Chains A and B, each alone.
Chain A
Amino acid sequence: MAIGVASGLQDKPWTDPSARPYVRIEGLSKSFGDVAAVTGVDLDIFRGEFFALLGASGCGKTTLLRMLAGFEEPSSGKIYIDGVDMAGIPPHRRPVNMMFQSYALFPHMTVAQNVAFGLQQERLPRREVADRVRQMLDLVQIGGLARRKPDQLSGGQRQRVALARSLAKRPKLVLLDEPLGALDRKLREQTQFELVNIQEKLETTFVVVTHDQEEAMTMASRICVMNAGMVEQVGTPHEIYEYPISRFVADFIGDANLFDGVVDATGTGSTRISSADVGDIVVEGGGAAAGAPVTVMVRPEKIQVLAPEAPDPGFNTGEGIVREIAYLGGMSVYHLELPSGKRIQLARANLMHTAETPIGWDDRVRFHWHPANGVPLLA
Chain B
Amino acid sequence: MTSPRKPLDGFRDRLCRPAGLGRTVALLIPYGWLLLFFALPLLIVLKISFSESLLAIPPYSPLVEWVDDATLQIRLSLANFQQLLQDDLYVVAYLNSIKVAAVSTAVCLLLGYGMAYGIARSAARWRYLLLMLIVIPFWTSFLIRVYAMIGFLKDNGLVNNLLLGLGVIDQPLAIMHTAWAVYIGIVYSYLPFMVLPIYAALDRLDPSLLEAAGDLGARPWKAFLRVTLPLSMRGVIAGSLLVFIPAVGEFVIPELLGGLGTPMIGRVLWSDFFANRDWPVASAVAVAMLVLLVVPVMLFDRYGARSLRERR
Contact = CB atoms under 8 A, between A and B. Distances in A.
A102 B216 contact: no
A151 interface: yes
Contacts of B32: none
Interface string A83-108: 00000001111001110101011111
A117 B214 CA distance: 11
A366 interface: no
Given A71-B211, A100-B208, A151-B312, A106 B227 contact: yes
Contacts of A93: 217
A66 to B, nearest CB: 9
The secondary structure that dominates the B interface is helix
A104 B209 contact: yes
Contact of B231 (A71, A90, A107): A107
Given A102-B206, A106-B209, A69 B215 contact: yes
A357 interface: no
A121 interface: yes
Interface in A90-141: 90-93, 96-98, 100, 102, 104-108, 117-118, 121-122
Contacts of B226: 106, 117
B311 interface: yes
Contact of B218 (A100, A121, A165): A121
B217 A169 contact: yes
B194 to A, nearest CB: 21
A117 B312 contact: no
A44 B246 CA distance: 63
B219 interface: yes
B42 interface: no
Contact of B216 (A70, A117, A149, A151): A117
Interface string B94-130: 0000000000000000000000000000000000000
B222 interface: yes
Given A108-B311, A108-B312, A100 B212 contact: yes
B216 A118 contact: yes
Nearest to B311: A108
Contacts of B213: 106, 117
A274 to B, nearest CB: 55
Contacts of B216: 92, 97, 117-118, 121, 165, 169
B212 A106 contact: yes
Q: For chain A, which range describes its interface: under 10, 10 to 19, 20 to 34, or 35 or more residues?
A: 20 to 34
Best-buried of B212, B222, B312 by chain A (most CB within 10 Å): B212
A108 B217 contact: no
B211 A100 contact: yes
B230 A108 contact: yes
Contacts of B220: 92
A108 B214 contact: no
Given A100-B208, A108-B312, A121 B222 contact: yes
Contacts of B208: 100, 102, 104
A158 to B, nearest CB: 13
Nearest to B310: A149
Interface in B233-281: none
A97 B217 CA distance: 9
Given A117-B226, A121-B218, A149 B312 contact: yes
A110 to B, nearest CB: 10
A156 B306 CA distance: 28
A118 B231 contact: no
Contact of B219 (A69, A92, A122): A92
A69 B209 CA distance: 14
A374 B102 CA distance: 81
Contacts of B219: 92
Given A102-B206, A117-B226, A121-B222, A107 B215 contact: no
Contacts of A90: 214
Given A107-B231, A107-B312, A149-B312, A117 B218 contact: yes
A63 to B, nearest CB: 14
Contacts of A106: 209, 212-213, 226-227
Interface string B177-208: 00000000000000000000000000000101
A118 B209 contact: no
B215 A92 contact: yes
A106 B213 CA distance: 9
Interface string B280-312: 000000000000000000000000000000111
Contacts of B214: 70-71, 90-92
A124 to B, nearest CB: 11
A275 to B, nearest CB: 51
Nearest to A162: B212
B34 to A, nearest CB: 33
A98 B312 contact: no
B312 A118 contact: no
A106 B208 CA distance: 10
Closest 6 CB pairs of A and B: A118-B216, A121-B217, A104-B212, A104-B208, A91-B214, A108-B311
Interface of B: 206, 208-209, 211-220, 222, 226-227, 230-231, 310-312
16 contacts: A69-B211, A70-B214, A91-B211, A91-B215, A93-B217, A104-B211, A106-B209, A106-B212, A106-B227, A107-B312, A108-B231, A117-B226, A118-B216, A118-B217, A121-B217, A169-B217
Given A91-B211, A106-B213, A108-B231, 11 more contacts: A69-B215, A92-B216, A98-B211, A100-B208, A102-B206, A104-B211, A107-B209, A107-B312, A108-B312, A121-B218, A151-B312
